[in-house]
A = this chain, B = another copy of it.
Amino acid sequence: MAHLQGKSVPTRFGIVVFPGFQALDAFGPLDALNSLAYYFPLDLSIIAATMDPVSTRPPNAPPQGNFSESIVPTHTFETAPPLDVLIVPGGRGTKDINVVQGVIDFVAKVYPSLKYLITVCTGSGIAARAGVLDGRRATTNKKAWAETTALRTEVKWVAHARWVVDGNIWTSSGVSAGLDVIFAFMEDVFGKEAADNVANGLEYERHTDSTWDPYAKIYNLKDSDA
């Protein structure tokens, strides 16, 4: 923990990755935090099933071409250090239970020791299956709405939301919404000046209204308890 104006702030960040994770789900929030790390002494652990590089290419990728990137883990689910904040991206890999069962188990195991859990896109489907969203309000990717919300009916799924905060869990809508949720989190926890400085450095025009969501309209979605 570091201190900001007498308040302690989280410094130990982690992200889980798995084959078929969505690159921007991960690297939107991570790059905002890369910049924040120039103001605060932050550490990042990149956590996966094994120490082998993890590809954005899902097991069920189309046979045509090969357009993907691989990231290098720093820890496994067994060796991950204590964390203040865990980020869970989504992506096509979440559709394969064999790919994400280990991630689900890891989220269930470490959630009680976290200060914050942040999910992006269908990453909320992982958190939901870990049981940590039961009874909470949460959102997810809008194109994958039906299949993701069906994973756990105990969750109060909110359709019209760029992101949702319930307790210490921040869930965002699809892919690029990860940028908006991380900046909202950054403003709340590290202060508006830090969030504005980082957003201007990334030349990113934030959506600051958590209910902004043209994508829910595209797919004509309704809240799960509506």
Contacts and interface: CB of A to CB of B under 8 A. Distances in A.
A69 to B, nearest CB: 6
Contacts of A31: 22-24, 27, 56, 175
Interface residues of A, number: 53
A43 B30 contact: no
Number of chain copies forming the complex: 2
A203 B71 contact: no
Contacts of A36: 67
B34 A56 contact: yes
B23 A34 contact: yes
Given A23-B30, A175-B203, A203-B142, A65 B42 contact: yes
Interface in A172-203: 173-177, 179, 200-203
A20 to B, nearest CB: 10
A8 interface: no
Contacts of A68: 34, 44
Contacts of A113: none
A204 B176 contact: yes
Contact of A13 (B62, B64, B67, B72): B67
Nearest to A46: B69
Nearest to A179: B176
Interface string A20-63: 00111011101111101110111110100000010010000010
Contacts of A41: 64-65
B13 A24 contact: no
- Which 3 A-B residue pairs are closest in the complex by CB-CB distance? A37-B67, A27-B27, A24-B31
